[in-house]
Structure 1
Amino acid sequence: MDTRYRIVYSGRLSLGHSHHEVMEQLARKFNMTEEEARELVMNGSGRVIKHDLSAAKAERYRNELASVGLEVDIEAQAPSGTSGPSLAKPAASDSRASSPIDLGAASDRLGEPNAVEAGRGWGWIQDAWGLFKQAPWAWIGALLLFYLIVIVVSLVPLIGGLATTVLGPMFTAGLMLGAQAQDRGEGFGVGQLFAGFSVRPGPLALVGVVYLGLALLIGLVIGLLFIVMVGGSGMMVPEMAPGTTMTPEQFEAMAAGPQFMLPVLIALLLGIPLAMAMFFAPALVALDAVPVMQAFKLSFMGCLRNILPFLVFGLIAFVLLFVGAIPFLLGWLVLLPVLTIAVYTAYRDIFR
């Protein structure tokens, strides 16, 4: 697993910057209150500002913090799940160093999503397998419970489908929080499935509402286009004698017509970007407190910049799901948790 890094405040300000100036810029740029900025600048020496970062992301954080006059150090973290002394020197004897502070949502807009190599698509699955092996039964139990809840809620008349769409990001966020906790060596339990209901539940529910609204809008556009296309063609189905059914050839001819193909193509053109925007949105909101609309944007950009890794990931996942389905879908008991964890490992690669 790649070495991860943390950002530690050195207690020093850049030459030519006053305490008042740094506190003011820090509060404005990183959405901190004046009290939080003052506490960090005046008493935060040795405090961990951000952790679990890639080398590139850590360097971007240092540059951004340096731009407001705050000097920080980059330190290597011990690999998750290992014992023994840390790879990093102690940040400070002060106990505050063990509790990373939150610089606010703006801090997670540093730079753009990383573009990784195509081979990382397979690497995400490998890393996910490594986490899954540490707590296989807990992950299987969490996924089974999740799908059971989805099925039960979906059976509720009228609102079941809407409820699962709105609540889905909360459950997804809980699994992402659990994967992150396990990645840090804190372990994973079935109860992590519900962590999203206590960590930013409002924004996570809003993710579901926005996604639902956009999906319904796309469906409305496609439905109207279909009606217009069919109405313009002057026919709905081929003419058939009473009591007869449509032959496969007639159905294929009708489905191949422009009145059907054009709405399908437009549905793909609109649906794929929506799926890209949704893919990382719950993780961004839950793990990094990114605002909802910003999370959709970053998720879309992260997917767009990593089309090749996602293509590799998708092809391998398809093959694994096909093979896992052969023995009565039993292989999916392992594959579905692994692919779920792979969302987190991909997120870690692209946004950290």
Structure 2
Amino acid sequence: MQARIVGAGRGVRWLAEGWRLFRAAPLGWLAAVFGYWLLMSLVSLVPLVGVAAAAVLVPAFSVGFMALARAAGRQAPLELGLLFDGFRHEPRAQMTLGVIYLACLALLLAASTLADDGALARWMLTGLRPADEVLQSEAFFSALAATAALYLPVMFAFWFAPPLAAWHSTGPVKALFFSLAASLMNWRAFLGYGAVAGLVTLVLPFLLLSLLALATGGGYRLPVASLVLPLLIVLLPTLFASFYVSYRDVFGYDAAP
């Protein structure tokens, strides 16, 4: 197992290839995403421990989505059972990664309280939106910016770690190290990927809403949900599939069993 260095151009194409994998079996992808959303929502409803338990399950489910993308790339049927691939391959390692991920999130939220007295942490943990004056405050923006910056190394450490643990029997700590190192080695590819993902998820929806407002003279108010929901239906499977494309590029086409 050896990480390869790929250029920014490959990172730019990760999302496009994720879209191709989604188009190969859209119904299978939509069923998997809906099943994942339903399961995580139910787990999150468990009193006291639900949100924490959902965070612990994230690495195992990420392996499941990579297994779905791998099947789509091989033109194999997308069976819903593939979503649980992470619970069948090295489940103890996946749970260990989940606990480490939860600890990282807890530390990040705890650090954010130093800037905004816990407004961001309460929003993330309870789902209750802070008041507008809090959202517009400099303290809240500082907490949000600092948390986003500190999350980057966490994201890179977990980007490849779940499939490395599941498909290569790599220990959790070693998988995190390899993932972080491989991500930093491929920073140009991730920069290109981030630029395209930001364009698709943020810039294009904003432009679409602006064009609708201009075309109707500002008289037509499109509910945000009516735009966000169709985008999520297409974007989430595409993003999940693109994670596998990045893994395949960096660790090789035949790296996964």
SS in 1 for 2:46: coil
Equivalent of 1:308 in 174, 188, 198: 188
Which secondary structure does the structure 1 equivalent of 2:104 belong to? helix
Distance in 1 between residues matched to 2:152 and 2:242, nearest whole Å:
19
CA distance in 2, matches of 1:207, 1:167: 9
| One-letter amino acid of the structure 1 residue matched with residue 8 of structure 2 | A
Normalising by structure 2, what TM-score?
0.74
Report the equivalent of 2:61. 171
Alignment match of 1:123 (pick from 6, 9, 13): 13
Runs of 4+, deviation exceeding 6 Å: 259-262
Q: Please state which structure has a larger fraction of its residues in strand.
A: 1
Contact map agreement 2:115 2:140 (CA 8 A) in 1: no
Amino acid at match of 2:163: A
Distance change (3 Å), C-alpha of 1:333 and 1:185:
same
1:155 to 45, 50, 62: 45
Alignment partner of 1:298 out of 158, 178, 187:
178
Q: Is the 8 A contact 1:139 1:189 kept in 2?
A: no
Aligned to 2:243: 343
Structure 2 unmatched ranges of 5 or more: 118-130, 206-224, 253-257
Q: Is the 8 A contact 1:321 1:332 kept in 2?
A: no
Name 1:274's counterpart in structure 2.
154
Matching residue of 1:186: 76
Question: Residue type of the partner of 1:219?
Answer: L
Q: In the TM superposition, what is the alpha-carbon distance from 1:226 to its structure 2 partner?
A: 6.4
Q: Secondary structure at the match of 2:77?
A: coil
Distance 1:198 1:262, change over 3 A: same
Query: SS state of the match for residue 142, structure 1?
Result: helix
Offset at residue 316 of structure 1 (A): 1.9
Q: How big is each residue's C-alpha offset from its partner over 1:306-337, in whole Å with a ceiling of 9 and x where there is no partner?
A: 22322222222233234467635213212210
SS in structure 2 at match of 1:119: helix
Which residue is 2:122 aligned to?
A: none
User: Please, what is the CA RMSD of the aligned residues?
Assistant: 2.8
Give per-residue Cα distances to partners, 1:331-351, cap 9 Å, x unaligned.
321221011000000011112
Q: Distance in 2 between matches of 1:346 and 1:158?
A: 36
TM-score in terms of structure 1 length:
0.56
Task: Measure how far apart 1:266 and its partner are.
Answer: 4.5
The 3-state SS of whatever aligns with 1:186 is coil
Note closer, same or farther for the CA distance 1:262–1:124 as it changes in structure 2 (3 Å cut). closer
CA shift for structure 1 position 139:
0.6
- Tell me the distance in 2 between the aligned counterparts of 1:261 and 1:130: 37
* Alignment deviations for residues 245-275 of structure 1 (CA, whole Å, 9 cap, x no partner): x996x996xx44xx77765554344322112
Letter in 2 for 1:140: L
**Separation in structure 1 between the aligned mates of residue 111 and residue 27 of structure 2, nearest angstrom:** 43
Shift in alpha-carbon separation, 1:269–1:184, aligned structure 2, 3 A: same
Q: Which residue of 1 aligns with 2:219?
A: none
Q: Flag the structure with higher helix content.
A: 2
Bigger Cα displacement from structure 2, 190-199 vs 134-143: 190-199
Name the CA distance, whole Å, in 2 between partners of 1:261 and 1:327.
26
Q: Distance in 2 between matches of 1:119 and 1:343?
A: 16
Corresponding residue to 2:229 among 329, 333, 337 = 329
Task: Return the index of the structure with the highest Cα Rg.
Answer: 1
Q: Partner amino acid for 1:348?
A: R
Q: Is 1:200–1:286's contact at 8 Å kept on the other side of the alignment?
A: yes
Relative distance call for 1:264 and 1:178 in structure 2 (3 A) is closer
Structure 1 gaps of 5+ residues are 1-107, 228-245
Give the C-alpha shift of residue 145 in structure 1.
0.9
What is the CA deviation profile of residues 30-64 of structure 1, one whole-angstrom value per residue up to 9, with x for unaligned ones?
A: xxxxxxxxxxxxxxxxxxxxxxxxxxxxxxxxxxx
How far off is 1:287 after superposition?
2.4
Evaluate the alpha carbon distance shift between residue 262 and residue 342 of structure 1 in structure 2; reply closer, same or farther with a 3 A threshold. closer
User: Per-residue deviation at 1:284?
Assistant: 1.6
